[in-house]
Amino acid sequence: MKARVHVMLKNGVLDPQGEAVRHALGAMGFDGVEGVRQGKVIELDLAEGATEADVTEMCERLLANTVIESYTVEMS
């Protein structure tokens, strides 16, 4: 079983890396990009029996800092 965790800075938290990417896209001539947010994807290979609740706890305790980041979990 695999889990994919997406971690993103919360809305309202300045994302200077995203801003830098947005500027670069503008400089390359890609008009119309009004905002870029950059996050990360963490893939977990899980042993038999691991549940989404386990992954959620991992997110809360380590994988995301919920002061500044939001996360979503996809199980597959």
Partner 1 sequence: MRAAVVVFPGSNCDRDLAVAFEQSGADVTMVWHKDSALPEGIDIVGIPGGFSYGDYLRCGAIAANSPICKSVADHAARGGYVMGICNGFQVLTETGLLPGALLRNAGLKYICKTVGLRVETSASDFTQGYNAGDVIDIPIAHHDGNYFADADTIKRLKDEDRIAFTYTDNPNGAQADIAGILSENRRVLGMMPHPERAADAGHGGTDGQALFRALAGALTEA
> Taking the complex as a whole, how short is the minimal distance between the CB of residue 49 and partner 1, in angstroms?
23
> Which of 48, 62 has the CB closer to partner 1?
62
* Residue among 57, 74, 54 nearest 66 (CA): 57
Strand segments, DSSP code E, in 10-68 are 40-45
Residue type, 13: V
C-alpha 39/C-alpha 15 separation (Å) is: 9
Q: Does 20 bind partner 1 (CB under 8 A)?
A: yes
14 scored as a contact of partner 1 (CB under 8 A):
yes
Interface ranges with partner 1 (CB under 8 A): 9, 13-14, 16-17, 20, 61-63, 65, 67-68
